[in-house]
Amino acid sequence: MKRNVFRILILACSIQLLVACAGEQKEKFATYHAAGDNGSQSAIEKLLKEEKSIKKGTAVFVDDVVLVGVQIKPFSKLKRTKIEENLQKKFEKEFPGKDVLVSTDFKISWEAQKLMKKELTEEELKKKIKKLQDLAKEET
């Protein structure tokens, strides 16, 4: 009797563990390009994947503006400004002539993700990106 209860308990725990681990995997790096340029999208994803301290990244391209919002892993938060400066240099080198903004601020990353989900005209998108750039330059 005790063996059957023990087996049922182990089976139930195993099923629960499998169901919990089979959750939907969210996209780690997302890019949005108004013109649909796949070359620059893959370049951004490559640069973000190279950085080990990044948990999630979002990039938005409009005309000559590149907005990159990244979320860093918890143990890397002490080196937040160094990571941001390093990524800024890499992106400026990869995309010369473009206005690049890299931010580790969660608000910028979150707003960039929201921009990707909305269907905005290019003019509205430019206004939103300009607003995010101004927000990123503010010091709190």
Domains and CATH numbers, the chain: 26-137 (3.30.300)
pTM here is: 0.70
d(CA 30, CA 58): 5
Identify the CA nearest to 68 among candidates 51, 88, 49: 88
Residue partners of 59: CB distance under 8 A and separation at least 6: 29, 30, 31, 32, 41, 44, 48, 66, 67, 68, 69, 112
Cβ burial of 4 (10 Å; 0-12, 13-18, 19+) is exposed
Q: How many beta carbons lie within 10 A of that of residue 139, not counting itself?
A: 3
Tens digit of each residue's pLDDT (9 = 90 or more) over 20-41: 665 544 557 777 666 656 677 7
> What tens digit of pLDDT does each residue of 48-88 get?
888 888 888 888 888 788 888 888 888 777 788 888 888 88
The pLDDT of residue 38 is 64
